[in-house]
A = this chain, B = another copy of it.
Amino acid sequence: MSQKLLLDYGSGGKASQRLISGMFLKYLGNDRLNRLDDAAFLELSGPISMSTDTFTVDPLFFPGGDIGSLAVHGTVNDVAMLGARPRFITCGLILEEGLDMDVLERIIASVGRAARNAGVEVVTGDTKVVPRGAADKIFINTTGVGEIFVTPGPSGHSAKPGDAILISGTMGDHGLTILSKREGLSFDAPVESDSAALNHLIVRLLQEIPEIHVLRDPTRGGLATTLSEIALQSNVECFIREKDIPVREAVAGGCSFLGLDPLYLANEGKFICILPEKFADKALEIMRSDVLATNAQQIGEVRKDHPGKVVLETPIGGHRLLDMLEGAQLPRIC
């Protein structure tokens, strides 16, 4: 194969076949994918959780991950949040003519590694190559399916007054990492994306505590936006205490320097868990026993006073509404 990606690799002809057999099957191959039919045959029994996400992150490689691993983690996590075991994902690539083939190979290898670690198979895919300038290097869509094993499963609509609000760890790591890498900033302490597959921890948590009301990962828009969505969907108030929200020192410092709020920055390996107060300690114990959630904390509780709102108690005891932002602090962070 050439060192740069040619338009011909997206043609459906011989060049495409070489790309598929020489690279994609090498890193992603399994019995289902290897059949290369128009669609994949899956033994799955319902009900099923299905989620899709497109990744346009810039830069492609960053401390803690790359667009390939991120594309697997993002979709696997979303499928899991409905109370499901993610099983299969698809991989749709948009590639820019002229892309370095070794960059593509590193990314595909990373997709394969992340999928194996998460315990999912890439079962079908699609590759489009567009002329130079019609896309920026590489965009990846992944769509995942998995079997729901708790009914009723957790949902953003199910938060109840009296519930405890937990988060699985520090906020803002992914967003600040992408921004600082893109802008060439460096801080005293290094920052790193938290990108990770949460499904194994989620399954364990739900097997032990099927009474969990809400699971949601605070990605784009961060903790504040995701809690706002839940408050609106469940018509409740989410009351949280700033002093209990874990933020790494380097992230807090970087945010303060740049005028960003870590509560609005994206996370890619964290989740919000809302459940009846009496199960909170048990949930925290399970979460903290996993390397992905050692900093899990209860950060507040669900109330009925201000339906649809998120109220933050500041360290000195004041209260303020955390509104959903109009737009983005940062584009292209996932």
Interface residues of A (CB under 8 A from B): 6-8, 10-15, 17, 35-56, 58, 77-79, 81-82, 84, 88, 90-94, 123-126, 128-131, 133-136, 139, 141, 143, 145, 148, 153, 155-157, 216-217, 219-221, 225, 229, 233, 324-328, 331-332
Most buried by B among A35, A36, A326: A326
Nearest chain-B residue to A81 (Cβ)? Answer: B38
> Complex formed: what's the CA distance from A145 to B156 in Å?
24
**Which residues of B have CB within 8 Å of A48?**
41-44, 48, 145
Nearest chain-B residue to A91 (Cβ)? Answer: B52
**Which residues of B have CB within 8 Å of A49?**
39-42
CB-defined A-B contacts under 8 Å, sample of 15 = A7-B327, A12-B219, A14-B324, A37-B81, A37-B157, A38-B77, A42-B48, A46-B46, A51-B124, A52-B141, A55-B128, A56-B134, A92-B92, A129-B331, A141-B143
Number of copies: 2
Q: A13-B325, A38-B216, A42-B49 are in contact. List 5 more A-B contacts (CB 8 A).
A: A10-B328, A12-B225, A13-B328, A50-B145, A56-B130
| A54-B133 contact, Cβ under 8 Å, with A46-B42, A326-B13 | no
Name the distance in Å between A49's Cβ and chain B's nearest Cβ: 4
Name the distance in Å between A305's Cβ and chain B's nearest Cβ: 22
